[in-house]
Amino acid sequence: MHNYGASQLAASWRTVRKNTLQIAEEIPAEQYGMQVSSETMTVGQMLAHMACATYWVEQAHFVHKLSEISGEQFGAWFGEIGKQSGALTTKEAILAALKANGESYATKLEQMTPAQLDEMVSLPGPSSKSRFEMLLGVKEHEMHHRAQLMQLQRMMGITQHLTRARQAR
């Protein structure tokens, strides 16, 4: 059996965040205000959101090590994410937060034991997920927003770094 554990999860997270950083660096600062419609986040808001989105997971799984998460806790954590991301108003601040928070999360992932990853966490609903599934979900969330950013790059006339690398091969 192949074991996909904490070190593999951290390595894959670092790859995803590295690609997000590449996109964030390539989009010009003057384009961080780009918004497709009034109902969507700007480029800068999306990147700031991504930079801070690990906060709730770190609180639930690394700080408090909860086995049950309430709707009130989610609400409080997402409120804090909103405050943190709202404070990131420049490209430089967003890039710094993406780097620091991304590496902090990866380091904490690496420290998880197989037993911790297998633990079940009760969620509102009622439902439950393994800690592994919840931690993996952070990467999926980042990839979702990164796909949106890649589409915005296309709209700006920017060829994505992954496309350029494929073309070079």
Q: How many folded domains does the chain comprise?
A: 1
Of the listed ranges 33-37, 50-54, 125-129, 130-134, the least confidently predicted one is 125-129
For the CA atoms of 94, 97, 102, 107, the dihedral, rounded to the nearest 10 degrees, stands at 170
Q: Please, which pLDDT band fits residue 168 given cuts at 50, 70 and 90?
A: confident
Is 62 inside any structural domain?
yes
pLDDT at 1 over 50: no
pLDDT at 38: 94
Query: Whole domain around residue 30: which residue ranges?
Result: 6-168
Q: Which two tokens stand for residue 42?
A: 């700007």
In this predicted model, what pLDDT tens digit does every residue of 20-69 receive, in sequence order? Answer: 999 999 999 999 999 999 999 999 999 999 999 999 999 999 999 999 99
- CATH classification at residue 11: 1.20.120.450
